[in-house]
Structure 1
Amino acid sequence: MAAATTPAAPEQPPKAPPAGAVPFDFSQPPVIEGFTPMQRMKDETFKEKFIRKTKDNPFVPLGCLGTAGALMYGLRAFHQGKTRQSQMLMRGRIFAQGFTVVAIIVGVFTTALKPKQ
C-alpha cells in the first residue's frame, strides 16, 4: 500500500526591514489594537503641579515642613548641648512624620474615591 505524500512547502524566514529603515517610530506612541490613549490636557510645570497637588491635599506639605523644622531645631539643640530639648524635638519629628504619612494615605484614598472627570 503506497501512501500519497504531498511535498511540504519550504518555510521562509520572516522578511527583515530594508537597510536603514527603523522598525518603530519612537516619537509616536505604539499602536495597540483596541486601546485608545487619553490625550494629555497640557504639560504642566513643576510649580503648577506643586500648587495643584497642594490644593488637593494641603496637609502633606504642612507635615513635611513640620518634620523638617523639628529636625533642624532638634539638631541645633543637640549641637548646643540641650539634650532634653533635643529629645523632645526628635519626638516631635516622629509625630510630624506620622502625620505626613497619614495625610498621604488619606489623600490617596480621597483621590481614588473621587469620580473620574
Structure 2
Amino acid sequence: MAAAAAPAVSDQPPNAQAPGPVPFDPSRPPVIEGFTPQTRSRDETFKEKFMRKTKENPFVPIGCLGTAGALMYGLRAFHQGKTRQSQMLMRGRIFAQGFTVVAIIFGVFATTLKPKQ
C-alpha cells in the first residue's frame, strides 16, 4: 500500500496576497530624489575631522574658546567677590556666544553656496 501524499497546507488564507513594497527598509539607506551620497575611501579619525572642520571655519573654535574663557574668568571673579568684573565677563561671554552662533550660521551658508565637486 502506498501512502497517500498529504495536501500542502498553507498558513495564509486562500485570498491573501504577497505583501507590497516595504516603505522603509532599515538595512539600506533611504533613497532621496536628487541626492547622491558621497562615498569616502576611508573613515576619518576624530583629530582629522576636527582639523578639517577647523580649517573650513576657524571662527567657531575661536568663539568657543572665547566663551569658555570668559565663563571661567567670570566664575572665578564671582567666587572672589569681584561683582563688577564678574558682570563684565558674563556680558563678554554672551558676546562670545553670539559670535560663535553667527560663525556657525555663516559656515552653514558658505558650505551651501560652495560649488559641488
Scaled to the shorter chain, the TM-score interval is 0.7 to 0.9
* Distance change (3 Å), C-alpha of 1:11 and 1:37: farther
1:11 counterpart = 2:15 = yes
**Displaced runs of 4+ in structure 1, greater than 6 A?**
none
TM-score, structure 1 normalization? 0.72
For structure 2, list consecutive stretches of 5 or more residues without a partner in the other structure.
1-13, 20-24
> RMSD of aligned C-alpha atoms?
2.5
TM-score, structure 2 normalization? 0.72
Q: Partners in 2 of 1:91 and 1:31 — Cα distance?
A: 45
Percent of aligned pairs with the same residue? 77
For structure 1, list consecutive stretches of 5 or more residues without a partner in the other structure.
1-9, 16-23
User: Secondary structure at 1:42's aligned position in 2?
Assistant: coil
Q: How many Å apart are 1:39 and its aligned residue? A: 2.1
* Distance change (3 Å), C-alpha of 1:110 and 1:77: same
Q: How many Å apart are 1:42 and its aligned residue? A: 1.9
Give the corresponding residue for 2:59: 59
- What is the number of residues matched between the two proteins? 97
